[in-house]
């Protein structure tokens, strides 16, 4: 169904011509983006002709999918007003801004928190469904550059008005402590059960109900820095969980706001951690070069500030991006640097709490993924053996991912039996957690096994994986 618009949509026609997309090509792209979000769309070239020549406005998520499809071809975000669809059902550019002013930054973050909850209450994806396919790695350019130029605000003191009954509250350290405790609890649950676990989904609720009112209240500069830091940690966590469940557009917005909050906190290592998260997302989405840029931004600003273990993690993330970009020499150099920093770290170092997950096991697991991308199975096996040698109760999802990487290495080494054995173990782990990322890893393994599809071991693995692959996202 479409709504009538007055006259032809000349803006849409002009941008389609600029992008070199035919009517049939746009229809196909929109349908494909919709399918990625579980939407069954049947647009064709006639549908697009109506949008252009008669100015009809498609309903629901379609206008945003149209913008995303054109944006993918042009390699940049395309706002609705540029294609003459600004009057479509609103899906604001919420969360994409990186304001220079602290007050505007608070407004940007709290608007994002409110919209996320509205999406969840809608019961069918809400705002994030309408933003389907809108991830654009170029949206990270301005936040990263502004953070590099000014990684800390000069003052964040806020006076929200007279205090008293019914008036704004005065934030204290005890309020901040509650947010940090919530972040710590969420980190444990996310690692153990995946980003889609019901306890993990409480993070956006905490941001809306707990963090937003505090950010809009009154606080001193000292308390404000701590408040922004705790809010940044929670916001990054919300982004990480969205990333793990396949909500890339939501993750991107959370990450941008987390970086802005980290700047207000004057916490440069935390800002670097957010940039590292952005880098991992870009790398996972296939943008290796952009992933390198984001990781190197984190490194550059943290020289002489971050602990050795923190710097090790940033170099490891850089290695992941180099490997995805196919640069074996740069990836190897970054891995050696990461290992060297890790060896220099000491038990008494003042490492941030959010880095508690990082040890040599994690280094080995990511090194294995680097060598998987570089098609070096012997190196993958070497690092994966170490990564799988430790207890897994606390980091269940990571264990599942490592098993899949191990299976791929065994397959590329010609060991079909071992590959299937590891694959069965990975499927068993994946079935206990809620992680779209883990499921995608399993799908990739099954795709690699297709040439051996008639082998009984492969048939068994495929049958074991069927319930996982058929489960709703």
What region does 435 belong to: left with phi over 0, alpha with psi -120 to 50, or beta? beta
Which secondary-structure segment (H or E) carries 183? helix 173-193
Q: What is the pLDDT of residue 161?
A: 72
Q: Contact, 109 vs 260, CB < 8 A?
A: yes
What SS3 class is residue 329?
helix
H or E element at residue 58: strand 57-58
Closest to 363 measured CA to CA, from 390, 330, 396: 390
Domains of the chain: 2-83 (1.10.260), 371-473 (no CATH)
**What is the phi/psi pair of residue 347, to 5°?**
-55, -35
Backbone angles phi, psi at 74, to 5 degrees: -80, -20
Contact 314, 298 (CB under 8 A): yes
386 and 379 Cβ atoms separated by less than 8 Å: no
399 vs 392: CA distance, rounded Å: 6
Which three-class secondary structure string do you get for 84-144?
A: CCCCCCCCCCCCCCCCCCHHHHHHHHHHHHHHHHHHHHHCCCHHHHHCCCCCCHHHHHHHH
Q: DSSP letters of 237-293?
A: HHHHHHHHTT-HHHHHHHHHHHHHHHHHTT-HHHHHHHHHHHHHHHHHTT-HHHHHH
Determine the 3-state secondary structure of 71 from DSSP.
helix
Residue among 214, 262, 260, 258 at smallest CA distance from 240: 258
How many residues are given for the chain?
A: 473
Q: Provide the pLDDT for residue 186.
A: 86
How far, rounded to the nearest angstrom, does the alpha carbon of residue 455 sit from its chain's CA centroid? 36
Pull the structure tokens for residue 203. 């993070």
Report pLDDT for 79.
83
Q: pTM of the entire structure? A: 0.80
What confidence score (pLDDT) does residue 1 get?
47
Alpha-carbon dihedral of residues 160, 165, 169, 173, nearest 10 degrees? 150
Token duo for residue 210: 């707990």
- Answer whether 143's CB lies under 8 Å from 99's CB: no
* Predicted pLDDT at 471: 67
> What is residue 352's predicted lDDT score, i.e. its pLDDT?
96
Q: What is the DSSP string of 54-68?
A: S--EE-TTHHHHHHH
pLDDT of res. 124: 40
What gap in Å lies between CA 15 and CA 24, rounded to an integer? 15
Tokens 């070069």 belong to residue: 289
Which of 60, 55, 59 lies closest to 5, judged by CA?
55
Q: Which one-letter DSSP state was computed for residue 431?
A: T
In this prediction, residue 189 carries a pLDDT of 81
Write the burial class of residue 89 (CB in 10 Å: 0-12 exposed, 13-18 middle, 19+ buried): middle
Q: What is the mean pLDDT of each run of 10 residues along the chain (473 residues)?
A: 68 93 93 70 90 84 84 85 74 81 96 67 46 74 96 94 65 95 87 60 88 95 98 96 88 96 98 98 95 97 96 98 97 98 93 94 95 94 86 76 92 93 92 86 94 92 89 58
How far apart CA 19 and CA 425 sit, in angstroms, is 46
User: What is the structure's pLDDT at 406?
Assistant: 92
Q: What is the C-alpha to C-alpha distance for residues 369 and 449, in angstroms, rounded to an integer?
A: 18
């Amino acid at each position: 169904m479409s709504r009538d618009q007055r006259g032809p949509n000349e803006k849409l026609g002009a941008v389609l011509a600029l992008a070199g997309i035919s009517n049939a090509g746009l229809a196909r792209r929109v349908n494909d983006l919709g399918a990625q979000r579980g939407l069954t769309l049947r647009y064709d070239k006639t549908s697009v002709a109506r949008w252009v020549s008669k100015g009809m406005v498609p309903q629901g998520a379609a206008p945003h999918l149209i913008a995303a499809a054109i944006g993918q071809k042009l390699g940049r975000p395309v706002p609705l007003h540029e294609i003459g669809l600004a009057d479509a059902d609103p899906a604001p550019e919420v969360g994409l801004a990186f304001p220079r002013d602290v007050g505007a930054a608070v407004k940007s973050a709290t608007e994002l928190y409110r919209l996320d909850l509205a999406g969840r209450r809608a019961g069918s994806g809400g705002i994030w469904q309408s933003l389907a396919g809108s991830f654009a790695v170029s949206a990270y350019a301005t936040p990263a550059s502004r953070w590099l130029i000014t990684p800390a605000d000069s003052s964040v003191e806020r006076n929200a008005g007279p205090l008293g009954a019914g008036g704004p509250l005065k934030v204290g350290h005890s309020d901040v402590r509650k947010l940090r405790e919530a972040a710590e609890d969420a980190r444990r649950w996310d690692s153990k059960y995946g980003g889609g676990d019901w306890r993990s989904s409480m993070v956006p609720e905490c941001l809306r109900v707990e963090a937003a009112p505090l950010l809009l209240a009154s606080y001193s500069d000292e308390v404000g820095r701590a408040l922004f830091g705790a809010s940044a940690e929670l916001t990054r966590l919300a982004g990480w969980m969205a990333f793990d469940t396949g909500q890339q557009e939501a993750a991107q917005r959370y990450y941008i706001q987390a970086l802005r909050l980290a700047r207000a906190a004057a916490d440069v290592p935390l800002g670097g951690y957010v940039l590292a998260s952005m880098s991992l997302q870009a790398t996972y989405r296939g943008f290796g070069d952009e992933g390198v840029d984001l990781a190197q931004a984190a490194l550059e600003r943290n020289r002489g500030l971050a602990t050795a273990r923190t710097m090790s993690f940033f170099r490891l993330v850089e290695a992941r991006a180099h490997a995805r970009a196919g640069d074996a020499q740069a990836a190897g150099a970054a891995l050696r640097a990461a290992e060297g920093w890790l060896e220099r770290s000491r038990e008494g170092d003042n490492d941030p709490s959010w880095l508690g997950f990082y040890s040599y096991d994690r280094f080995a697991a990511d090194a294995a993924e680097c060598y998987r991308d570089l098609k070096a199975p012997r190196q993958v096996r070497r690092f994966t053996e170490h990564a799988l040698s430790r207890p897994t109760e606390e980091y269940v999802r990571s264990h599942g991912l490592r098993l899949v990487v191990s299976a791929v290495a065994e397959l590329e080494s010609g060991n079909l039996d071992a590959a299937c054995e590891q694959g069965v173990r990975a499927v068993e782990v994946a079935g206990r957690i809620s992680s779209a990322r883990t499921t995608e890893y399993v799908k990739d393994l099954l795709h690699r096994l297709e040439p051996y599809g008639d082998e009984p071991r492969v048939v068994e693995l495929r049958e074991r994986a069927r319930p996982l692959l058929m489960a709703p996202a």
